[in-house]
Amino acid sequence: MGSKHTASCECGFSTEVSVGGSRSSFTTHSYFPFLCKQCGIVSVNVAKENIVCPTCQSEDVQQYGEEGASDLKLKQSNPYPRLQNYDREAFQNGHKCPQCKKFTLTFSTATVRYS
């Protein structure tokens, strides 16, 4: 099942990212956050063979939870992954912010508001 998460940084940056997909389409549409050097944080369809930025089509993207987009040496505040989609996972904190370029970006579950 797909979910929404908030990526936020102490510098004031904040955005929502998608993880996973729906039960009926997860084999063709399944998402995970990546860092695009041109566009910032993007939700990439990892069900496709070719991993590219959905905005600029660049292949120069790094998956959050892996070296480069995340500082894997930082101690995580929670031993369980915050984001998970098959074999892709990212912990709660220690990620590169596209705005300030520091590894102070955190992921949290997005608040769902009903009207």
The tens digit of pLDDT for each residue in 11-58 reads 999 999 999 987 777 778 899 999 999 999 999 999 988 999 999 999
Comparing C-alpha atoms, which of 110, 104, 111, 90 is closest to residue 12?
104
Structural domain count, the chain:
1
2 neighbors 18 (Cβ within 8 angstroms): yes
111 neighbors 5 (Cβ within 8 angstroms): no
Residue 40 lies in a domain: yes
Taking residues 83-93, what's their average pLDDT? 89
Residue 114 lies in a domain: no
| Predicted pLDDT of residue 97 | 98
Q: How confident is the model at residue 115 (pLDDT cuts 50, 70, 90)?
A: very low
Residue 16 lies in a domain: yes
Q: How confident is the model at residue 112 (pLDDT cuts 50, 70, 90)?
A: low
Residue 94 lies in a domain: yes
